[in-house]
Amino acid sequence: MSEEVKAVRYKEPSDAKKVIIPVAVTVVFGLISFYLVLPAINIYNSGFWGWLLCLAGVYIISAITCGMENGKFDSRNAGKGIRYPFYLILAIIAVLVIGSISSAKIFNAKRYAGLIDVSTADFKDDMPETTNVNNIALMDTASASIIGNRTLGSLSQVVSQYVISPTYSQINYHNTPKKVANLEYADFFKWFQNRSNGIPGFVMVDPLNNTAEYVELSKSMKYAESAYFGKDLKRALRFAYPTKIFHKFYFEIDENGNPYYIVSCKTPHAGLFGAMDVNEVILFNPVDGTSKLYDLEDVPSWVDIVFDGDLASDKYNWFGTLSGGFWNSVIGNKNCKRATNDYGYIVLNDDVWYFTGVTSVNEDESNIGFILTNARTGEYKFYPVIGAEEYSAMHAAEGEVQEKGYQASFPSLINVGGQATYIMVLKDSGGLVKLYALVNVEKYSMVATGATQQEAMAAYRKLLERDGITVVDNESLKKAEVTITDVRLITVDDLPTVYLTGDDGNVYKGYLNLDESLVLIQKGDRLTISCEETAIGGIFTIRSWNR
């Protein structure tokens, strides 16, 4: 074929086809993908660079397609159009590679380790002695879900349209530990039917009494993770804060019962992507969609969860393993330590704290201490209490009732007579709480169980006293000289309990399994009783008595 004929058959594509169409396709793809994926427009977000990489790829594919002539690609049509996007792809890949390398622990060990300061504290001074375990929340999320679903199931008008969020937030509400979870739309069609009405309420679980209640809001929530389009929580937040790198979302309520989402935002402290830590917090109102950005030091005191437990553990592990340098964490392991693989909750001084043990990097079955991390402020405290790690204590508690096949939940930590003590629940195969258990941290063979927290505590105190450990200062006990006006034997939670009514109007209770001599007390007896006040006014627990 002659060159003249070839020239006639080749037709130069228009500028619109070479440039405008690929640009238009890329813009449309970018807008749709941004709306769906919602990446943070931030150079410190690896997802942002991945999104740009996709856009460049779409442009190249579009340019190649526009350069096709009779089903074949002609480099004269699109070669120049894809050159610069191809260079852009190489540049983005270089940023991701260099950013990842520059963020690696091997080059930034001190920055990772320096994210936190850990002060050493005295366990007996910081942890108030527990004389009554009615204020200790031991319920895990799985148990809370069972109780919450049971409560919602009794509300037919609600359960047919909504489900409970699987994420329960541990909060301190009016100085009482609670777990809260918002309702979510059951599916797209339920959202479509109820989008104008919104989400009417949330579930609050009382981990002390193993009860739950559905709380109906005066104004319904219009924004949720299960909503769609503009009412989707993440989408509303992204459009309001396009550059923020969101970490976690937690549903909480303020002291007046108003709902909020607590949204932690993070930033790197090593290289481009490394040592991510929370630096700001957004409080988002799901009722009207308003929000406010706070620096960490300005977060309202009623907020409980700013730093999640996983991040708290990760930061301590960086501190514990990298403080001596990267190579020491790999080879020498001198003074290296790490947190155990789970965490519990403790409520102290109106704040929620994460509790987890600290062990050597060899992950043996003993702890060299434990840490408490403030979930709102990020403060760390280390307590050098040597003893069994949590899973060993859990196995010890399960072994006490091995014939029942109960499983222990991750424990919390309390101070009983100056003794660091694990306290946990034992659950059946259905996830229901059946027993409570206390295990001594230093002597984890010392285990006490009971059907109630009070029974388990009383049995544990007996064990300590038999071991020569004074549990309660006698000077702190109430002394009462009373004449018994009524004697009642009542079984409470399968526990035979004696209730003695005194002529002073108070009621004194004791447990027969701990003191059989209580059955000798009769109406009209004059007694001297040493006792402790319970959470219910006018009722006291008998510690000792004599005629």
Q: For position 413, what pLDDT does the model report?
A: 87
Q: Decide which of 469 and 204 is more confident.
A: 204
In this predicted structure, the answer to whether residue 46 has a pLDDT above a threshold of 60 is yes
Quick: pLDDT tens for 168-197.
Answer: 999 999 888 899 999 999 999 999 999 999
Pick 121 or 127 by higher pLDDT.
121
Residue 15 pLDDT: 54
DSSP for 355-397 reads EEEEEETT--SEESEEEEEETTT--EEEE---EE-HHHHHHHH
pLDDT at 1: 47
- For Cα atoms 56, 58, 61, give the angle at the middle one, nearest 5 degrees: 110
The answer, yes or no, to whether residue 117 has pLDDT greater than 90, is: yes
Give dist(CA 463, CA 421) in Å, integer: 12
39-48, 148-157, 346-355: which range is least confident on average?
Answer: 148-157
The answer to pTM > 0.85 is no
Reported as a pLDDT band with limits 50, 70 and 90, residue 472 is low
Question: Residue 135 has what pLDDT?
Answer: 54
pLDDT on residue 454: 75
Q: How many helices (H) and strands (E) does the chain have?
A: 15, 29
Q: Is the pLDDT of residue 139 over 80?
A: no
> What percent of the chain is modeled with pLDDT above 70?
89
User: Is pLDDT at 515 greater than 60 in this prediction?
Assistant: yes
* Of 441 and 158, the one with more pLDDT: 441
The number of angstroms, rounded, from the C-alpha of 122 to the middle of its chain's C-alpha atoms is 26
Count of residues for the chain? 547
pLDDT of residue 81: 61
Question: What local confidence, expressed as pLDDT, does residue 7 receive?
Answer: 45
Please provide residue 102's backbone torsions phi and psi, each rounded to the nearest 5 degrees. -70, -20
Quote the CA–CA distance of 178 and 137 in Å, as a whole number.
Answer: 8
Given a cut of 70, whether residue 11 has pLDDT beyond it is no
C-alpha to C-alpha distance for 38 and 168, rounded to whole angstroms: 25
Paired tokens of 83: 């050159």
Q: Would you state the pLDDT for residue 126? A: 82
pLDDT confidence bin for 371, thresholds 50/70/90? very high
Average pLDDT of 455-464? 83
Query: Would you place residue 5 in the very low, low, confident or very high pLDDT band (cuts 50, 70, 90)?
Result: very low
DSSP 270: B
What's the mean per-residue pLDDT of the chain? 86
For tokens 């009971």, what's the residue? Answer: 450
Question: What was the pLDDT predicted at 6?
Answer: 47
The whole-number average pLDDT for the span 270-277 is 95
Q: For the CA atoms of the chain, what is the radius of gyration?
A: 31
What was the pLDDT predicted at 151? 80
Q: Which two tokens stand for residue 251?
A: 């549903």
Tokens of 106: 């091997």
144 pLDDT higher than 50: yes
Average pLDDT (321-349) is 89
Give Cβ neighbours of residue 347 (< 8 Å, ≥ 6 apart). 135, 137, 172, 177, 353
**Domain boundaries, given as residue ranges, for the chain:** 3-102, 137-306, 310-382, 390-466, 474-546
Q: Identify the residue with better confidence: 265 or 126.
A: 265
Q: What is the mean pLDDT of residues 322-329?
A: 93
Residues 6 or more apart whose Cβ sits within 8 Å of residue 41: 48, 242, 243
- CB contact set of 8 (below 8 Å; sequence gap of 6+): none
Q: Is the pLDDT of residue 14 over 80?
A: no
At 456 the three-state DSSP class reads helix
Query: Mean pLDDT throughout 468-486?
Result: 78
Q: For residue 8, what pLDDT is reported?
A: 43
User: For the residues 325-334, what does the mean pLDDT come to?
Assistant: 90
For residues 320 and 8, the model is more confident at: 320
Q: Which residue has the higher pLDDT, 76 or 394?
A: 394
CATH dotted code for 474-546: 2.40.50.50
Structure confidence at residue 304 as a pLDDT band (50, 70, 90): very high
348: which strand partners? 351
